[in-house]
């Protein structure tokens, strides 16, 4: 994995050139984004895949502010549900912005919001009921309310015209959906699966998603990257719940994800037609994550079924709790714990998402 200095230099130059090409093509309304800095700020909505500490301020089971979480992150445990960087940390690196801080941190007010804020909350979903088994969490609607508060603060700092321009040029990313299935509908004791068929649920979530993205647009956002569902039938917790015998993914659960993703693309197409001055971008997580799982030896992994940290079969029966130890060779595992990818996967996925989103811009 170690690269010689000349190769690293070439790659760094390549990233810079890609950024120049990217920003040179982005226009929002009639204003072009600054070529020296593609986005003034980065605002993040989502679940535990991108939470960086909001759940530290909640009464919840879903917390990651102690080791082994963050064991490879420079600041140690912060609330990130992996051993190091999240996938959107990687994107932040690529667009040359600092990692957006958690909204609930009391210090994240005033000028501290002017490079972005992270609203993500572990166990959150598009639906308010999703993640109920983890007690406290902030669903997408709540996160949008937080963003509205931020937008008001930006207006106080920059003035109405300045805030409008700032928000229109900022990058917005959303990452939801997994909890609506794995920590809601697919739980045997969840009330929602007594109400909807899988097809009905898909349309309930998609209708909700469209309304939520419209709210973000109405608050001033114009560049919105929306994550697809990943291959959730391959996460260790689902291997256990779906009684996988030899570590094979659940085709049933992955089929739900793929079906949802088709509908999500349709929703984004509709939004792009309804709001031509906006860019609703599809961030395809499924394709690359599925590739890493299916062909894991090719990417240097020794396992794509058993997690690095956890307990039980596939280490998928118990979260990576403080009394457990993470594996020493963390870069050799696709999954860090029963729900979340390792930093090694996040690094590859972040680069792949950046490249794909660049094509859409």
Q: Which residues are catalytic?
A: 48, 337, 340
- Residue 205's SS3 state is helix
**Contact at 8 Å (CB) between 25 and 279?**
no
**Contact at 8 Å (CB) between 318 and 338?**
yes
Which residues pair with residue 32 across a beta bridge? 27
Q: How far is CA 80 from CA 53, 88, 118, 166, 348, in A?
A: 6, 11, 12, 27, 17
Distance in Å from the first CA to the final CA of the chain: 31
State the residue for tokens 């090694």. 344
DSSP state of 45: E
Nearest to 174, CA basis, from 118, 128, 230, 133: 118
Give exposure, 59-89, as e/b (b: 16+ Cβ within 10 Å). ebebbbbebbbbbbbeeebbbbbbbbbbbbb
Question: In this structure, how many other beta carbons lie within 10 angstroms of the beta carbon of residue 324?
Answer: 15
């Amino acid at each position: 994995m170690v690269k010689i200095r000349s190769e690293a230099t070439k790659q760094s130059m390549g990233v810079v050139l890609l950024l120049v090409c990217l920003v040179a093509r982005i226009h929002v309304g009639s204003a072009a984004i600054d070529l020296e800095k593609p986005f003034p700020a980065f605002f993040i909505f989502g679940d535990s895949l991108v939470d960086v500490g909001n759940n530290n301020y909640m009464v919840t089971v879903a917390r990651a502010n102690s080791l082994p979480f963050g064991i490879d992150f420079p600041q140690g445990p912060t609330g990130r549900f992996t051993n190091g960087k999240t996938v959107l940390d990687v994107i932040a690196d690529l667009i040359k912005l600092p990692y957006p801080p958690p909204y609930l941190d009391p210090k994240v007010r005033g000028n501290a919001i002017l490079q972005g804020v992270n609203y993500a909350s572990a166990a959150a979903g598009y639906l308010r009921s999703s993640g109920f088994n983890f007690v406290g969490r902030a669903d997408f609607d709540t996160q949008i309310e937080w963003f509205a508060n931020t937008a008001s603060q930006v207006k106080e700092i920059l003035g109405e015209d300045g805030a409008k321009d700032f928000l229109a040029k900022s990058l917005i990313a959303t990452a939801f959906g997994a909890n609506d299935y794995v920590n809601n509908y697919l739980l045997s004791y969840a009330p929602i699966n007594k109400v909807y068929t899988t097809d009905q649920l898909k349309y309930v979530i998609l209708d909700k998603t469209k309304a939520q993205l419209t709210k973000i647009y109405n608050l001033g956002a114009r560049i919105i990257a929306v994550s697809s569902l990943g291959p959730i039938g391959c996460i260790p917790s689902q291997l256990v719940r779906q009684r996988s015998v030899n570590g094979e993914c659940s085709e049933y659960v992955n089929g739900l994800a793929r079906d949802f993703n088709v509908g999500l693309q349709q929703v984004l197409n509709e939004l792009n037609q309804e709001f031509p001055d906006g860019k609703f971008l599809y961030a395809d997580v499924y394709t690359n994550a599925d590739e890493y799982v299916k062909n894991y030896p090719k990417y240097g992994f020794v396992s794509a079924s058993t997690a690095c940290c956890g307990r039980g079969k596939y280490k998928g029966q118990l979260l990576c709790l403080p009394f457990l130890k993470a594996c020493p060779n963390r870069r050799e595992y696709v999954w860090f714990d029963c729900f979340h990818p390792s930093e090694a996967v996040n690094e590859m996925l972040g680069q792949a998402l950046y490249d794909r989103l660049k094509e859409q811009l």
